[in-house]
Structure 1
């Protein structure tokens, strides 16, 4: 995945120090309750589409952009599903980050699943009982988005 230019510039100043970032995740559910996933080009794993909030961007707009870029599907945001600070992570190059993830429940409104970009190997809809093996934080986001609870999941 290409590193956004603002982050490249920031790293010139802070090196590998811990950088807090806001991430957005789209949990896209169709009328049948299926979940849209993409298989990442960098590690081959299935996951929900998402990415980093860029300077000046609103979170809901960012998730619409990320879902479109990674899957080819146009979405409408329905609600905020969860707000969770992830554990700090160190990339192989030594860069340290900690994401505050905002996961949004979305519904498809256009486009078609496509893996045309450089970030995605494959895009598919999965029934909830046929989801591939994924990191527990991803399945938690899916569960939060599928719930009928109107308020987002928060860690206290």
Structure 2
């Protein structure tokens, strides 16, 4: 994920200190129930599409923008799947971040899936039973998107880092 300009400006002031940021991820499904994934340029792994909202941008707008920017697919957000604070991350450059992920289920409504920017090496549609190797982060969100389950969030008093969303649903 490319670092937005406003984050680079903040880093100029705070250095590598922990920065708490919003993030939006999208599980995009087509009419056949396939999941849209991108193979990331930074680590070569398949992943859901997502990114950081611009200041003042609503999460649904972030999902629509990021999906189009990275894959050329137009989508419509349908519902919130999950709200979760993730474990802190230290990037190779020394930056420390922690994200609050808002994951949205989205429906593809147009466009043809292709690499549309420099953040992806490949883009593709996958049947839920034929997914490439994915991190638990993506698998959990795909499971929520393909099931009729309520929005997941960590119950009060828990750390909220349990990536097995649904293991302790409220």
Q: TM-score, normalised by structure 2?
A: 0.89
Residue 155 of structure 1 pairs with residue 154 of structure 2: yes
- The whole-number CA distance in structure 1 between the counterparts of 2:138 and 2:20 is 20
- 3-state SS of the aligned residue for 2:26? strand
Size of the alignment, in residue pairs? 155
1:17 matched to which residue of 2? 17
Structure 1, residues 100-122: CA drift from partner, whole Å, max 9, x if none? 00000000111110113111111
Higher strand share: 1
Q: Which has the higher contact order (CA 8 A, sep 6+)?
A: 1
- 3-state SS of the aligned residue for 1:129? coil
Higher helix share: 1
Q: TM-score, normalised by structure 1?
A: 0.96
Residue 146 of structure 1 pairs with residue 154 of structure 2: no
1:123 matched to which residue of 2? 123
- The whole-number CA distance in structure 2 between the counterparts of 1:50 and 1:62 is 8
Structure 1, residues 22-63: CA drift from partner, whole Å, max 9, x if none? 000110011211101011111111001000111111110001
Point out 4+ residue stretches in structure 1 off by more than 3 angstroms. none
